[in-house]
Amino acid sequence: MTRSVELPALFAHLPEIFLDGYCPDAPWALLGEALDEVLEQLPSESIASPLHPEVHLAGDRIVIGKGSRIAPGATLEGPLFIGSDVDIRAGAYLRGGVWIGDGCTVGANTEVKRSILLAKAKAPHLNYVGDSILGEGVNLGAGTVLSNFRQDGLEISIGGSGGIASGRRKLGAILGDGVKTGCNSVLHPGVVLGSGSEIYPLVQLRSGVYAAETIFKLRQVIEEVEKRGLS
């Protein structure tokens, strides 16, 4: 596995609203003041899709586009932007300032905190997405966790000690367009993964910059032992 300090290709079509705040050399900075400025521009409330009475809204500045489906039991805290034709399933929890692009999916009992999901990104099954950016068409396998906080609470460096200082104590993963993760994979705080890459099930990626169009596999040895009765 090769790590590089040069950031790989990430996003082919970043929404215009984010262009001024985007720095290719520090894409995680988009989750700071740039995201705040975008969310501050939202109206107090603009909901273009019907909501079930058991959808829970909290806070101010909540926007939901046309054709979006919000299942009963979902909790949506503003500021929050949800685009058109988005699927938010039962028990989903969106909080902390979230921007969800058109055609995205946030699955049952999935939590999204302080994150950006670009068009058609999917976190569909029991995922945690914290302080992260998901590029277009990203798909997280069931149980994938994008961890966003070091156990010691210190600033997150991309690549660990001696890596690129992020200036953030909370930072999950920056996933380029088309990234796919396998079931129960875990990305440690400060992962930057290039577009088109795939992570196989159960893989753990430590903080670092990883190339585009790469497959990450976990090899394990399984031992079969004959079950014998008690003597």
The residues carrying an active-site annotation are 125
Q: Give the DSSP letter string of 73-84.
A: T-EEESSEEE-T
CA distance 207 to 201: 18
Give me the count of residues in the chain: 231
Nearest alpha carbon to residue 60 among 43, 72, 48, 74: 43
Cα–Cα dist 47/68, whole Å: 10
End-to-end CA distance of the chain: 48
Distance in angstroms (rounded) separating the CA atoms of residues 148 and 193? 15
